[in-house]
Structure 1
Amino acid sequence: MSTELVVEDVDLFYGRVQALRGLSLTVGTGEVVALLGNNGAGKTSTLSMLSGLYRPHKGTVTWQGEDITRTTPWDLVRRGLVQVPEGRRIFSTMSVHENLQLGGYQVRDPKDLAERIDAVYEMLPRLGERKNQQGGTLSGGEQQMLAIGRAHVGRPRLLLLDEPSMGLAPLVVKQVMELVKSINDDGTTILLVEQNARAALRIAHRAYVIESGRVALSGPASELAQDRAVIEAYMG
């Protein structure tokens, strides 16, 4: 397995507040890697930095052997790094179909874009049934599916998922995680930020536990799921 993403010794500040402290991690081709941790641990900061929204003050980020530490967000999307943000952030007054079209804003061939959207409808038939419905009228679970579907239109090589289970009922969480696993099974590499450690570790290959912007634990997901410290801190 080759390593696609390498984050090495990254520091990130918001003004005088340090969010990441010497953070290092890797994501291999075809993996689901989970980032676990409490609120304020640095999970979302990690994804925001990887998406180019914030630049690290120290350290490097390498993607497929190239340094992308200073790359713009739109160039990162072109390279295949696509984020599904926390809270879904769909366009609530636009239709489901229009939201999906925006996910392919860099696709120049209209026929190619239509085929990509049709593939999302095939993967998520409920969205197809609601293609003309305003996004804001969907249920929370349907909005999360739409946010993931919108990202999928961009054909990501690395999908960055930020808290996809947030605010969802347990049955819907299961459906979302099954979708994430299905996308990974089709060949998409995934970096998954998730507070629901139990759900994340079920589908992840490896995981990192972040505390105060640092990696506190890492290893195979199956081993971390049995780790007493992880169980007590994140699984109850």
Structure 2
Amino acid sequence: MLEIDGLDVHYGGVHALRGLSLGVAEGEIVALLGNNGAGKTTTLSAVSGLLRPSGGEVVFDGKTITREKPHRITARGLVHVPEGRRIFSTLSVHENLQLGGYLVRDQAEIRTRIERVYELLPRLAERRAQQGGTLSGGEQQMLAIGRALVTGPRLLLLDEPSMGLAPLVVASVMELIAGINAQGTSVLLVEQNAVAALAIAHRGYVIENGECVLDGPAAELRRDSRVVEAYLGGVREGERG
């Protein structure tokens, strides 16, 4: 579904991605792990067209999208939920969701998609008239994901959806992501909380300094000593209380 081949990205004199290659198959959740500054957010921004790569290729659904405009990439069904939620704080929950359908011409289809979001996230339905900025952090994250669902994604790019959230809320967000995947949407998940990410992912990649240094099935990464020491707090799977 998504193939990234030899991707290079420069910020001025900084070489942020160095020949990065990875893929997401239809129906997968793929976790992208790494420390701050490793290139995770840069990867998502390059895939979604927010950054122009200096080399390499991005292919989605068999078509090269490396230099397409972001709105055209979104229209193909590749939808980016950036770090920090970025909802419209002065608009209501319902108005935020309506904006998710900005590329959809059929108003009846937009209404149908919003109702599906409300069924999936009844808390948003309860707060449909409430301003987005008055929601809790977890509710704002769910609204950001819900807005993306109205766009009609085949592949969701999620950047740090658990950032700043309490552990119980993190669990709810991860359950939501797994549920969305179970309904047929593929996911590329950037997440500092490696334990939570690998618990729902099918596969994962670890990147350092803009390069992929490790990849494999999520179950194997949870047991890999390098991942355990660097990202899982030194505790192997099965040892957590």
Distance 2:91 2:174 in 1: 26
The corresponding residue for 1:135 is 132
The one of 2, 5, 8 aligned to 2:5: 8
Query: 178-187 vs 64-73, which deviates more?
Result: 64-73
Deviation at 1:65, TM superposition (A): 1.2
* Number of aligned positions between the proteins: 233
Instruction: Give, as a single letter, the amino acid of the residue that structure 2 aligns with 1:95.
Output: S
Alignment of 1:35-114 (within 5 A): 35-114=32-111
Distance 1:125 1:27 in 2: 30
Distance 2:87 2:15 in 1: 29
The corresponding residue for 2:152 is 155
Corresponding position: 1:175 with 2:172: yes
Distance 1:141 1:10 in 2: 33
Query: 34-43 vs 64-73, which deviates more?
Result: 64-73
The corresponding residue for 1:33 is 30
CA deviation map 1:42-71 (0-9, x unaligned):
000000001101111111111111111111
The corresponding residue for 1:235 is 232
DSSP-derived class of the 1:160 partner: strand
TM-score by length of 1: 0.98
Identical aligned residues as a percent: 68
Instruction: Give, as a single letter, the amino acid of the residue that structure 1 aligns with 2:203.
Output: R
TM-score by length of 2: 0.96
Deviation at 1:231, TM superposition (A): 0.8
Distance 2:106 2:154 in 1: 19
DSSP-derived class of the 2:223 partner: coil
Deviation at 1:115, TM superposition (A): 0.7
Deviation at 1:96, TM superposition (A): 0.2
The corresponding residue for 2:236 is none
Corresponding position: 1:122 with 2:119: yes
Distance 2:61 2:113 in 1: 24
Distance 1:109 1:69 in 2: 28
- Root-mean-square deviation (CA), in Å? 0.5
Deviation at 1:41, TM superposition (A): 0.3
Which consecutive residues of structure 1, in runs of 5 or more, have no partner in the other structure? Answer: none
Instruction: Give, as a single letter, the amino acid of the residue that structure 1 aligns with 2:84.
Output: G
Instruction: Give, as a single letter, the amino acid of the residue that structure 1 aligns with 2:128.
Output: K
